[in-house]
Amino acid sequence: MGCKPPMIHRDIKSTNILLGKNFQAKLGDFGLSRSFPVGNETHVSTNVAGSPGYLDPEYYRTNWLTVKSDVFSFGVVLQEIISSQPVIDPYALTNGDIKNIVDPSLIGDYDSSSMWKALELAMSRVSASSSGRPKMSQVANELQKCLLSENSRKEGRHDVDSKSSVALSTSFGTKHNPDAR
């Protein structure tokens, strides 16, 4: 997965994600993209570019673009997808109130463990420090598990490991441990 050399998009946001056939997501607008050197480099120094609200705060403060800068932006987009809102209410999150976080048009038609897992992933991505964020490959793997769990629920199967969401909380070290499942 990925490209060589790695590319940092620098402007991942909802309006730059296009939907193709069968709602297949495609990333657009690579005008601000930068290639990332292959080797031991941890960052590239560059002028800050991107959209407010989606911009990695560490990159904004330091002008250091890292491979995890886009991870922050994707976390914001994932929160928007889950909640159908620009910002998630932190009070609802700390109280484990998933019904007031998730897009109300879903009317509870989702696997709550999978939804919590996706929400925990989104929250782990918006850590102010890049060292506190998972790698995008981890994000992709965990989202695949969420999708598998949801598809199993819809098909009436219960063969997905329900303990995986608890393991996710501890592996990403999130401070937000959901109560309601």
Q: Domains of the chain (ranges plus CATH)?
A: 50-172 (1.10.510.10)
Q: Does an H or E element contain 152, and which?
A: helix 136-154
Please say whether the beta carbons of 27 and 88 come within 8 A.
no
> Which residues of the chain register pLDDT less than 50?
160-181
For 68, residues 6+ apart whose C-beta sits below 8 A from its C-beta are: 56, 130, 133, 135, 136
Calpha distance 116→98 (Å, rounded) = 8
11 catalytic residue (yes or no): yes
Give me the catalytic one of 11, 56, 70, 111: 11
pLDDT value for 18 = 94
pLDDT value for 93 = 64
Buried residues in 132-165 as b, exposed as e (16+ CB within 10 A): ebbebebbeebbebbeebbeebeeeeeebeeebb
The β-bridge partners of 7 are: 35
pLDDT value for 159 = 52
pLDDT value for 1 = 54
pLDDT value for 11 = 93
pLDDT value for 91 = 62
pLDDT value for 168 = 39
pLDDT value for 180 = 39
